[in-house]
């Protein structure tokens, strides 16, 4: 296993292609582990007096996307830039607005300064009948002060905390500070809370995930992010090699190398209650040692599990209507 | 004794209550185990909701008393039922799962052993009535005095002892409303509906979040806690269908500080329905603020605090939005015939709970006082739950369900400083706004008065047209109302003077059947008499089968063995032997034998299936899943859905298709998408060919039913709330024309004139089913405002208006004996079927279209029955199906015995 290495420590830049981040075959695992440990140890001593915590500066915007051909639109977040202690890692993200939005990898102890912009047509038009044109980023799981709640003033009693024209305040952009404090490890949703009403447009595509790892956490060959919505899975795949975010969209087919450790990040969103299955696999229920092979998950719950990719499988939602509407995808295991 | 060990936490002022508890310390093997003897009553609150009351307390509360016990204790409950419905004391997951019911006025005892640590719901188990407030929490704590750990600001999982707790908050998630109790120093204080919870920063707060009824997820902003039984840190938790409970402890503001942190259900539909509140974390002494109270400022309320009126959403005809105190309101001396009207003061809230329905619904405003805040109130998609909204602006608010758009509930928010009940906003000349985009409509206008009449007729069976009685009375409340400008009566001309609504009454109007059509029809006419009630069922609805040979009611099919619920629309298989029946307030498609009405199969198909048709090409069954987002397919001869064709691209708003039609070649399915205001044309392979907005982009046009030309060249779609008929190219979906069905009506004065210059004064208010005749000559539109409008497909213009009854709804064609076609038209709020002959002289010109006669839909002496009708006989006419099916594409597939009665032209309607 490797130490978390998707970001530089102490301003020391790792090449995205350095051996420390590459997929590691089993045979060399032990050796690699030793080297990595030594490197980390060395770095720790090199950085005495400096915190291991990283500072993330993130800029994102929201756009209209996925014209369905019949005039109905969705919205999506787009990464504009992401630097970690000054190192630019923006190339890991799609150049386009995507559903789900960018997956942000963080480590306990980090801080995040995220600024949201708004490129949705009408963002700067006046507010009609109190309808908000703002978009925001409301995050789950991590610590933040009330000014970073990403909600409208009608909720937080402080400010319309988004970009665009709000019912009470207007901002060209809005910045949030997150304290990725100890105890916040896990996978969490972020989503809009301000578009049109105080409920926002999370169900129109404005959602994404943060993955908070503990310091020194295991690394996984692949990270699969899957949002369970009312008629489809929206997902993406991230290869630990290069951390490039790919395969955005509906019911993606995931690919894993045989016997590699892969991690699924499930978050539900919408109105339906789902029952997730990954055929032929079982996994530990988070926070317990219980092995399970299906899980009930409701909107904005998260469920993170790892499996060793041993065989092809189908993932599915067993919800009556969703299953009949084809809410399934594949895990393809290659040799 | 530890304050939590005594079983219940009691207000200090009510300490005498303690003597009612006999806490018996048991000796020997069960050291420290206690027996808690608890005396409860079930009560009716001023707003009609139900609640448990602890003996000795002055008042019942929602939730009921929180019962704290220790593992190993036992609980004996003595329950006296002071309500009008049977109630119980059920603790799901603990003890007796089918406890005895306590009849009204009776007393019974219940015993529960607290063997397992955890949080449990107790509830009344009253067939849905428990959702009105008969629920509470039973908390079984560890004997060592420890409770759930909290996640500290440094991430440490920190142990908590009972003595460390500063405050406990009990939050029930029911329908789409939070019901809360705050417990500090053992004092239980009701916080009622959607309160503001308060705590000082760093206080240790133990939450007990519970649910009864449909599922929820609970989310509290910026706080984390442990998933019960695990070390998993979460900030959102699912509470599953039925009953569920979840306790956790937090340190208020840990790592995040002070603020107004929102808590809410995270299901989108419930968020939109108002299911949220605030957790205020502040300085020392920060306290909670009570929410809307059933004792507060509502009609006949007792307390000068914000009040709450509650509607139960029901499958029962007319009572779809039934005030929890509807029976009491009808009994008031104001001649109120509806159970769907409530009156409250500004600043009070209206609450909805889907406690008596198997379907899914929205809670959506149809009209509201001009300038009212937070309007329209609506949800993106239909779901189970309810809704809650605070109303500050005086005036009339009418709520409906978008899926079932004749479900109505009305609330008058009355400014106590004006004379009479305010029907509009006093600040805006008592005007109202409509969801269709009309704003500033004077409440004195003809349209406003018609809408008011529609409400009082639809929700009051006493105001329906019962042809058996031969007279018709419509009674409006004697309450004076305040409207724009002059009141209803010419005599009362001083602008703004209030007049009683009963000025609109219709008294002893004669009501007579026209008589049976002279020429028989071919076969049978099946009509969904959707509101008719029978002895063997709790749910309404029958199928009424009329023999077209002699126009008698041949059979009534209630299907008590499956409690058939609101049968809405039908079709039949190729050989006309199996009838398919949707249950529109339920989840089922029913198959039954045509010849004897016997049940074949009752199949789960999804939420709120509306219409059903076969594909003429292969006899597969297509079902519009009106409460969801697709059209289900059941292969011919099978009893299971093979797939659901989505009516929209993934992630896009649910279309909620209602009355679809299938092309004569069986290749495309055309749906009126009520939720997205468009017509979709879909391939049977699931491909979306086109989606075309209707109603000239007005909001909420509500396309509801489709008719198609026999060669599929044109699609006709009725837009219920836009009062138009859209004409589309059947191939491309391109909009050809929008026919205004109310051009000849002046909404302010009510004057009728040939404004569209087509030579006829004709209007169709609230058009619904609009089939095209099998020969493609005419569209017949049943309009719920009480008109039948006939369109000539050659010119796509209105050629005729014929009178219909209130709630005119369904229409479908069948063969007329000897040639030609009858359109059979049903009515929701009367109990007859009207027979329209589109071309009596058979010359091919439909200018002579007229009513051929009518048929009472009440069972006669020779009617075969499977259950006994006990009320609303023959009412609720909706889906209509003539057997044999004689539409082009289907008629050619009829078995020879069914073709025998048809003319050559009827057998081949467009090739002839």
Domain coordinates in residue numbering, chain B: 12-266, 308-459, 525-907
Q: Are strands B480-482 and B421-422 parallel, antiparallel or unpaired?
A: parallel
The partner residues of B160 in beta bridges, in order of sequence, read B147
| B194 pLDDT more than 50 | yes
Q: Picking from A51-60, B723-732, B884-893, which range would have the lowest pLDDT averaged per residue?
A: A51-60
Which of A286, A301, A322 has the highest number of chain B CBs within 10 A, making it the mutation to test binding with B?
Answer: A301
Residues in chain B: 912
Task: Identify the H or E element spanning B707.
Answer: strand B703-708
Using a CB-CB cut-off of 8 Å, the residues of chain A touching B607 are 321
**φ and ψ of B382, to 5 deg:** -75, 145
Residue in B with minimal Cα distance to A191: B266
Q: Are both B12-266 and B525-907 of the same fold?
A: no
Could you read off the pLDDT of B719-757 as tens digits, one per residue? 999 999 999 999 999 999 999 999 999 999 899 999 999
Residues in chain A: 335
Helix (H, G, I), strand (E, B) or coil at A133: coil
Give the percent of chain B with pLDDT over 70.
95
Residue in B with minimal Cα distance to A72: B652
| A5 pLDDT more than 70 | no
Q: In Å, how far are B7, B145, B151, B199, B249 from B160, measured between CA atoms?
A: 20, 9, 11, 17, 8
Under the banding of pLDDT at 50, 70 and 90, the label for residue B912 is low
Mean of pLDDT values over A35-63: 66
Under the banding of pLDDT at 50, 70 and 90, the label for residue B195 is very high
- Are B651 and A320 in contact (CB < 8 Å)? no
> Tokens in use for B445?
């206008």
Could you read off the pLDDT of B620-629 as tens digits, one per residue? 999 999 999 9
Tell me the pLDDT of chain A averaged across its residues: 87
Could you read off the pLDDT of B482-493 as tens digits, one per residue? 888 765 544 443
Q: In Å, how far are A28, A84, A182, A217, B121 from A4, measured between CA atoms?
A: 18, 14, 16, 6, 44
Residue in A with minimal Cα distance to B643: A324
Task: Look at the block and give the residue holding tokens 């109990």.
Answer: B831
> Tokens in use for A19?
């051996």
What superfamily in CATH does domain B12-266 come from? Cupredoxins -  blue copper proteins (2.60.40.420)
Give pairs for B295-299: CB < 8 Å, separation 24+: B295/B45, B295/B46, B295/B47, B295/B59, B296/B348, B297/B344, B297/B345, B297/B347, B297/B348, B298/B46, B298/B47, B298/B342, B298/B343, B298/B344, B298/B345, B298/B348, B299/B342, B299/B343, B299/B344
Using a CB-CB cut-off of 8 Å, the residues of chain A touching B235 are 140-141, 188
Task: Identify the H or E element spanning A84.
Answer: strand A74-84
Which of A69, A325, A326, A329 has the highest number of chain B CBs within 10 A, making it the mutation to test binding with B?
Answer: A325
ipTM reported for the complex, 2 dp: 0.93
Q: In Å, how far are B422, B423, B493, B504 from B429, measured between CA atoms?
A: 10, 10, 16, 21
Could you read off the pLDDT of B10-42 as tens digits, one per residue? 343 343 333 333 333 333 344 568 999 999 999
pLDDT of residue A13: 38
pLDDT of residue A128: 62
Distance CA B33, CA B768 (A): 65
Tell me the pLDDT of chain B averaged across its residues: 93
pLDDT of residue A131: 83
* Residue B651 CB contacts under 8 Å (≥ 6 apart), including other chains: A66, A74, A99, A204, A205, A229, A231, A232, A234, A250
Q: Picking from A7-16, A67-76, B256-265, B464-473, which range would have the lowest pLDDT averaged per residue?
A: A7-16
The DSSP string of A13-34 is PPPTTSGGGS---GGGHHHHHH
Looking at the domain that runs over B525-907, which CATH code has it been given? 2.130.10.10
Distance CA B309, CA B328 (A): 13
Distance CA B394, CA B422 (A): 6
Using a CB-CB cut-off of 8 Å, the residues of chain B touching A150 are none
Q: How far is A107 from chain B (nearest CA, A)?
A: 13
Q: Picking from B430-439, B633-642, B834-843, which range would have the lowest pLDDT averaged per residue?
A: B430-439
Nearest to A140 among B226, B235, B373 (CB): B235
Could you read off the pLDDT of A129-149 as tens digits, one per residue? 678 999 999 999 999 999 999
pLDDT of residue B249: 98
The burial of B446, by beta-carbon neighbours within 10 Å (0-12 exposed, 13-18 middle, 19 or more buried), is given as middle
| A74 pLDDT more than 90 | yes
| B5 pLDDT more than 90 | no
Say if residues B856 and B874 touch (Cβ distance below 8 Å): yes
Residues 10-39 in A contacting B (C-alpha not used; CB under 8 Å):
none
Helix (H, G, I), strand (E, B) or coil at B893: helix
Which residue would you say has higher pLDDT here, B354 or B758? Answer: B354
Does the domain at B308-459 match CATH 1.25.40.10? Answer given as: no
Residue in B with minimal Cα distance to A138: B221
Could you read off the pLDDT of B388-419 as tens digits, one per residue? 999 999 999 999 999 999 999 999 999 988 88
* Residue B447 CB contacts under 8 Å (≥ 6 apart), including other chains: B441, B747, B748, B750
Could you read off the pLDDT of B104-136 as tens digits, one per residue? 999 999 999 999 999 999 999 999 999 999 999
Distance CA B373, CA A250 (A): 38
pLDDT of residue B752: 94
- The side-by-side arrangement of strands in the sheet containing B67-70 is B67-70, B135-141, B118-123
- Are A300 and B259 in contact (CB < 8 Å)? no
Distance CA B340, CA B377 (A): 18
* Closest to B63 (Cα-Cα) out of B80, B77, B45: B45
The partner residues of A314 in beta bridges, in order of sequence, read A330
Rg (Cα) of chain A, in Å, rounded?
20
Residues 182-221 in A contacting B (C-alpha not used; CB under 8 Å):
182-186, 188, 197, 199, 202-205
Could you read off the pLDDT of B83-103 as tens digits, one per residue? 999 999 999 988 788 899 999
Distance CA B290, CA B775 (A): 65
Distance CA B152, CA B157 (A): 6
Which residue would you say has higher pLDDT here, B328 or A7? Answer: B328
pLDDT of residue B254: 97
pLDDT of residue B487: 52
> Tokens in use for B770?
């609009």
Distance CA B244, CA A259 (A): 39
Q: In Å, how far are B8, B23, B77 from B15, measured between CA atoms?
A: 11, 15, 19
Domains in chain A: ranges and CATH: 1-50 (no CATH), 53-217 (2.60.40.420), 219-335 (2.60.40.420)
> Tokens in use for B710?
């026999």
């Amino acid at each position: 296993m490797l130490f978390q290495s998707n970001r530089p420590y102490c301003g020391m830049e790792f090449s995205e292609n350095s051996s420390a981040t590459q997929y590691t075959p089993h045979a060399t695992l032990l050796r690699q582990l030793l080297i990595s440990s030594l490197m980390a140890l060395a770095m720790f001593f090199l950085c005495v007096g400096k915190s291991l915590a990283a500072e993330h500066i993130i800029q994102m915007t929201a756009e209209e996307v996925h014209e369905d051909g019949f005039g109905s639109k969705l919205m999506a977040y787009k990464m504009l830039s992401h630097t970690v202690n000054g190192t630019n890692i923006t190339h890991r993200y799609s150049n386009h607005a995507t559903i789900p939005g960018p997956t942000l990898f963080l480590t306990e102890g980090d801080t995040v300064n995220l600024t949201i912009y708004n490129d949705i047509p009408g963002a700067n038009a006046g507010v009609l009948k109190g309808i908000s044109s703002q978009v925001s980023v409301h995050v789950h799981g991590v610590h933040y002060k009330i000014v970073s709640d990403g909600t409208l003033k009608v909720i937080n009693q402080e400010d319309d905390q988004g970009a665009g024209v709000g019912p009470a305040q207007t901002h060209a952009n809005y910045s949030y500070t997150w304290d990725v404090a100890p105890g916040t490890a896990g996978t969490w949703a972020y989503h809009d809370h301000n578009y049109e009403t105080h409920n926002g447009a999370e169900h129109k595509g404005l959602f994404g995930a943060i993955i908070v790892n503990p310091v020194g956490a295991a690394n996984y060959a692949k990270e699969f992010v899957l949002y369970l919505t009312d008629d489809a899975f929206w997902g993406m795949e991230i290869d630990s090699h290069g951390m490039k975010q790919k395969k955005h969209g509906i019911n993606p087919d995931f690919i894993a190398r045989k016997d590699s450790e892969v991690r699924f990040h499930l978050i539900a969103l919408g109105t339906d209650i789902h029952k997730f299955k990954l055929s032929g696999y079982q996994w530990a229920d988070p926070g317990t040692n219980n092995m399970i092979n299906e899980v009930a998950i409701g909107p904005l719950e998260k469920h993170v599990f790892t499996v060793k990719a041993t065989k092809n499988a189908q993932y599915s939602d067993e919800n009556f209507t969703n299953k009949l509407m084809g809410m399934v995808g594949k895990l393809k295991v290659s040799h | 004794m530890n304050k939590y060990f005594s079983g219940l936490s009691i207000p200090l002022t009510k300490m005498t209550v303690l003597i009612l508890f006999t806490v018996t310390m048991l000796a020997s093997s069960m050291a420290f185990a206690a027996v808690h003897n608890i005396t409860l009553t079930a009560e009716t609150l001023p707003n009609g909701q139900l609640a448990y009351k602890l003996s000795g307390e002055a008042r019942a509360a929602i939730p009921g008393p929180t019962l704290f016990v220790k593992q190993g204790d036992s609980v004996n409950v003595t329950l006296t039922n002071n309500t009008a419905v049977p109630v119980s004391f059920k603790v799901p997951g603990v003890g007796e799962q089918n406890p005895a019911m306590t009849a009204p006025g009776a007393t019974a005892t219940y015993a529960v052993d607290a063997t397992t640590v955890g949080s449990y719901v107790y509830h009344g188990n009253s067939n849905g009535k428990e959702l009105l407030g008969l629920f509470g929490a039973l908390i079984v704590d560890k004997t060592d005095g420890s409770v759930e750990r909290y996640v500290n600001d440094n991430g440490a999982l920190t142990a908590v002892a009972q003595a460390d707790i500063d405050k406990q908050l009990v939050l029930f998630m029911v329908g789409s409303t939070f019901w809360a109790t705050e417990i500090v120093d053992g004092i239980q204080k009701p916080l009622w509906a959607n309160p503001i919870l308060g705590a000082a920063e760093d206080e240790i707060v133990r939450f007990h979040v519970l649910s009864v009824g449909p599922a929820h997820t609970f989310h509290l902003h910026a706080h984390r806690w442990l998933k019960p039984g695990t070390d998993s840190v979460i900030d959102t938790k699912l509470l599953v269908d039925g009953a569920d409970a979840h306790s956790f402890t937090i340190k208020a503001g840990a790592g995040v500080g002070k603020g107004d942190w929102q808590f809410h259900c995270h299901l989108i539909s419930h968020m939109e329905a108002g299911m949220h509140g605030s957790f205020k974390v502040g300085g020392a002494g920060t306290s909670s603020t009570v929410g809307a109270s059933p004792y507060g400022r509502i009609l006949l309320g007792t307390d000068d605090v914000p009040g709450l009126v509650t509607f139960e959403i029901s499958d029962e005809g007319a009572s779809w939005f039934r005030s929890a105190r509807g029976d009491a309101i009808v009994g008031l001396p104001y001649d109120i015939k509806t159970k769907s009207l409530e009156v409250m003061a500004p600043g009070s809230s209206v609450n909805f709970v889907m406690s008596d329905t198997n379907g899914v619904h929205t809670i959506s405003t149809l009209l509201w006082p001009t300038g009212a805040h937070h309007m329209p109130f609506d949800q993106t998609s239909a779901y189970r739950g309810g809704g809650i909204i605070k109303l500050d602006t005086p005036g009339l608010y009418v709520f409906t369900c978008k899926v079932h758009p004749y479900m109505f509930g009305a609330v008058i928010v009355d400014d106590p400083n004006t004379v009479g009940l305010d029907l509009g906003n006093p600040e805006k000349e008592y005007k109202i706004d409509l969801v269709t985009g009309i704003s500033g409509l004077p409440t004195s206008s003809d349209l406003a008065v018609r809408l008011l009449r529609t409400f009082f007729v639809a929700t009051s069976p006493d105001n329906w047209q019962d042809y058996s009685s031969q007279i018709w009375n419509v009674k409006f409340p004697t309450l004076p109302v305040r409207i724009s400008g002059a009141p209803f009566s010419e005599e009362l001309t001083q602008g703004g003077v209030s007049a009683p609504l009963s000025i609109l009454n219709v008294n002893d109007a004669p009501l007579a059947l026209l008589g049976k059509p002279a020429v028989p029809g071919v076969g049978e006419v099946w009509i969904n008499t959707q509101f008719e009630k029978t002895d063997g069922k709790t749910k309404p609805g029958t199928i009424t089968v009329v023999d077209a040979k002699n126009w008698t009611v041949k059979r009534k099919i209630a299907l008590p063995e499956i409690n058939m619920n609101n049968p809405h629309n039908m079709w039949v298989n190729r050989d006309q032997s199996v009838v398919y029946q949707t249950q529109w307030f339920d989840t089922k498609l029913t198959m039954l034998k045509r010849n004897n009405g016997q049940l074949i199969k009752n199949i789960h198909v999804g939420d709120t299936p509306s219409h059903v048709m076969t594909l003429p090409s292969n006899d597969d069954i297509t079902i519009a899943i009106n409460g969801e987002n697709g059209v289900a397919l059941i292969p011919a001869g099978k009893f299971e859905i093979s797939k659901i064709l989505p009516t929209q691209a993934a992630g896009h708003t649910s279309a909620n298709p209602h009355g679809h039609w299938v092309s004569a070649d069986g290749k495309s399915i055309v749906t009126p998408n009520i939720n997205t205001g468009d017509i979709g044309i879909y391939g049977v392979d699931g491909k979306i060919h086109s989606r075309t907005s209707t109603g000239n982009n007005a909001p909420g046009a509500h396309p509801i039913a489709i008719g198609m030309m026999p060669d599929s060249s044109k699609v006709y779609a009725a837009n219920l709330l836009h009062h138009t008929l859209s004409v589309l190219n059947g191939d491309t979906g391109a909009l050809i024309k929008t026919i205004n069905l109310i051009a000849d009506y002046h909404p302010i004065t009510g004057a009728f004139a040939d404004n569209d210059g087509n030579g006829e004064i004709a209007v169709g208010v609230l058009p619904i089913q609009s089939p095209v005749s099998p020969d493609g000559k005419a569209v017949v539109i049943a309009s719920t405002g009480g008109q039948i409008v006939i369109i000539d497909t050659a010119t796509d213009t209105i050629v005729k208006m014929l009178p219909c009854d209130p709630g005119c709804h369904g229409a479908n064609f069948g063969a007329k004996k000897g040639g030609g076609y009858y359109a059979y038209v049903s009515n929701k709020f009367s109990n007859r079927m009207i027979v329209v002959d589109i071309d009596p002289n058979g010359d091919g010109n439909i200018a002579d279209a007229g009513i051929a006669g009518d048929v009472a839909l009440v069972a006669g002496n020779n009617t075969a029955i499977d259950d006994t009708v006990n009320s609303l006989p023959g009412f609720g006419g909706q889906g209509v199906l003539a057997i044999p099916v004689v539409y082009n594409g289907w008629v050619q597939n009829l078995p020879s015995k069914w073709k025998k009665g048809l003319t050559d032209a009827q057998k081949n309607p467009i090739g002839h």
